[in-house]
Amino acid sequence: MSDPTTVGAAELRERIARRELSSVEATRAYLDRIARRDGRLHAFLHVDEEGALARAAAIDAALARGEAPGPLAGVPVALKDIFVTRGIPTTCGSRILAGWVPPYDGTAATRLRAAGAVLLGKLNMDEFAMGSSNENSAFGPTRNPWDLQRVPGGSSGGSAAAVAASLCALALGTDTGGSIRQPASLCGVVGIKPTYGRVSRYGVIAFASSLDQVGPLGRGVADCALALEVIAGHDPRDATSLPAPVPRYRDAAGRGVRGLRVGVPTEYFGAGLDPEVAAAVTAAIESLRAAGAAVVSVSLPHTEYAIAAYYLICTAEASSNLARYDGVRYGLRVERPTLQGTYRATRAAGFGPEVKRRIMLGTYALRAGYYDEYYRKAQCVRTLVREDFRRAFERCDLLATPTSPLPAFRLGEKVADPLAMYLCDAYTTSCNLAGLPGMSLPCGFTAAGLPVGLQLLGRPLEEETIFRAAFAYEAAAPGSARRPPDPDALTGAAGAAGTAGAAPAATAAEPT
């Protein structure tokens, strides 16, 4: 058959299951592609060539014996390096974990394996998932496949870039304040953050425990639907995971949006929103209306407080979650004559500046006597934000917004200004505070050829509704997602994407 890397996970699985091609062929094709192209993208932190080929061969052998193919049989996937993988180095993008080889598998890795997936390797990320550009990786940034001078977003930037550049058929990421959706948006792929508790966090290195959630990134909606079916569901190892049954999300395809009420929150279209992004998202919403959805205007009045509350809660929880990296049991140890000295030297050398900043902010917020003023107050805001959504969802079935206020920005552009970087999360953090499911899917391009993402938010545990709308939109606007040009063809100059094979004729107006 033709190049197996040109199709998404769902399609590839069918071809492998029908034995039109082998998992080894598909795996080899992806490994070749990684070898040729990842040098410039730097999406991977670790490629497990040997393990992947052995696994692929085992899957092929099982299929040859007539065993029933798993839902991801033979499909080459990759994991953000926040997922703990037995026997495969796991760094979380941090020097403090460099060289750590975990003795256990997290639930996501276990479920992917059980479904027949082939693990290609581990993907780059902002250190401990703290960042919106992948520039906080201790091992160097990932670049955006659409323009190598630009960031892929973060913190699951490696996952989004790898999927966009077809270096894997599917990837998993995590989303604490937008870390799946924002990079999906900036790289032109589909990414969903499910309801808090929908997917087990066991074996996911914690950043902010009450906000972290696992989700897939794929080239199409069906890829994400399939992946979520595999990884979702109750896990006795995660006390916060929900016991609700997991629907077959792929069945949401073809059901259309007739009768769905799509809410458009006015607060998400205000100052700070790039006009090209606004135009593309508005056009996408129009396309949903044209397909039969009712579009209503709604208000989420506490949106402006969400970012502040989010950064208080996530830093507080992070300061606690990162206390275990002390050099005593695993990872980096910088030895000094005293215990206190070893702690200090290890953490000073092991953590990058953004992680240190957040540990300090969170430690400050949790100090005795300040807890009420900061953490508790932030939790109150969180309740208000959740209440905003509950009220809005009385009037609509899902919300449609931009995912990110801006398309991909240039490397280095915001590094010196953490607050500007934090504002990249303006449209994504509320969803985490409220624990809701949210998806970003491609909805066109800017004039410079940079992808724009449409964000769909749903009620708790109503991922199905999101998938229904996403499938409908994807069918109505087939050109909204494209493959980026090969990095080799890029000159790296701004706007160079336009000179590559896929001309960015598609603009904001394309989906309609």
Partner 1 sequence: MTPPVVYEAVIGLEVHAQLLTRSKIFSGSSTEFGAPPNTHVDPVCLGLPGVLPVLNRAAVDCALRLALATGCTVRRRTRFARKHYFYPDLPKGYQISQYEEPIAEHGAVDFEVGGQARRGRLRRIHLEEDAGKNVHRGTTSLVDFNRAGVPLVEIVSEPDLRSADEAAGFMRTLRQLVRWLGICDGNLEEGSLRCDANVSLRPRGRAEYGVKTELKNINSFKFVRDAVAHEIARQEAVLRDGAAVVAETRLWDADRGRSAAMRSKEEAHDYRYFPEPDLPPLVIDEAWLAAAQGQLPDLPSARCARFVADYGLPPGDAATLTAERDLSDYFEAAACAHGDGRTVAHWVLGEVLRALKRTGAAATAAPVGPLQLAGLCDLVRDGTISGKIAKEVFAHMVTTGRGAGAVVAELGLARLSDPAALEAACRAAVAGNPRQVAQYRAGKTKVLGFFVGEVMKATRGQADPAVVNDILRRLLDAP
Does the active-site annotation cover 179? yes
CA distance 246 to 238: 16
CA distance 465 to 330: 43
Does the active-site annotation cover 193? no
- Please report, for residues 116, 221, 414, the alpha-carbon distance to residue 23 in angstroms, rounded to integers and kept in the order given: 10, 22, 41
- Nearest CB to partner 1, comparing residues 5 and 315: 315
Q: Is 299 in the site for partner 1 (CB under 8 A)?
A: no
Contact region with partner 1 (CB under 8 A), list: 23-31, 237-245, 391-399, 470-478? 237-245
Contact region with partner 1 (CB under 8 A), list: 57-65, 97-105, 144-152, 159-167? 97-105
Does the active-site annotation cover 185? no
> What is the residue-wise DSSP string for 438-462?
EEEEEEEE-TTS-EEEEEEEESTT-
The count of other CB atoms within 10 Å of the CB of residue 451 is: 32
CA 321 to chain centre: 21
| Whether 490 contacts 497, CB under 8 Å | yes
- Nearest CB to partner 1, comparing residues 201 and 468: 201
Contact region with partner 1 (CB under 8 A), list: 53-61, 263-271, 322-330, 387-395? 322-330
Q: Which of residues 99-128 bind partner 1 (CB under 8 A)?
A: 100, 102-104, 106
The count of other CB atoms within 10 Å of the CB of residue 160 is: 37
- Nearest CB to partner 1, comparing residues 193 and 382: 382
Q: Which of 22, 23, 80, 414 is catalytic?
A: 80
Q: Contacting partner 1 (CB under 8 A), which of 243, 329, 416, 419?
A: 329
β-sheet bridge partners, residue 175: 213
Q: Which of 155, 241, 319, 404 is catalytic?
A: 155
Reduced to 3 states (helix: H, G, I; strand: E, B; else coil), residue 147 is strand
Looking at residue 375, its amino acid is: Y
- Whether cis (ω within 30° of 0) applies to the bond prior to 155 is yes
- Nearest CB to partner 1, comparing residues 217 and 316: 316
N-terminal to C-terminal alpha carbon distance within the chain:
33
What character string, x for contact with partner 1 (CB under 8 A) and - otherwise, covers 336-365? Answer: ---x---x-------------------x--
What character string, x for contact with partner 1 (CB under 8 A) and - otherwise, covers 373-402? Answer: --x---------------------------
Residue with tokens 């009712």: 294
Size of the site for partner 1 (CB under 8 A): 43
CA distance 200 to 212: 10
Binding site for partner 1 (CB under 8 A): 83-84, 90, 92, 97, 100, 102-104, 106, 201-206, 208-210, 236-240, 316-317, 319-320, 322-324, 326, 328-330, 339, 343, 363, 366-368, 371, 375
Positions marked active-site: 80, 155, 179
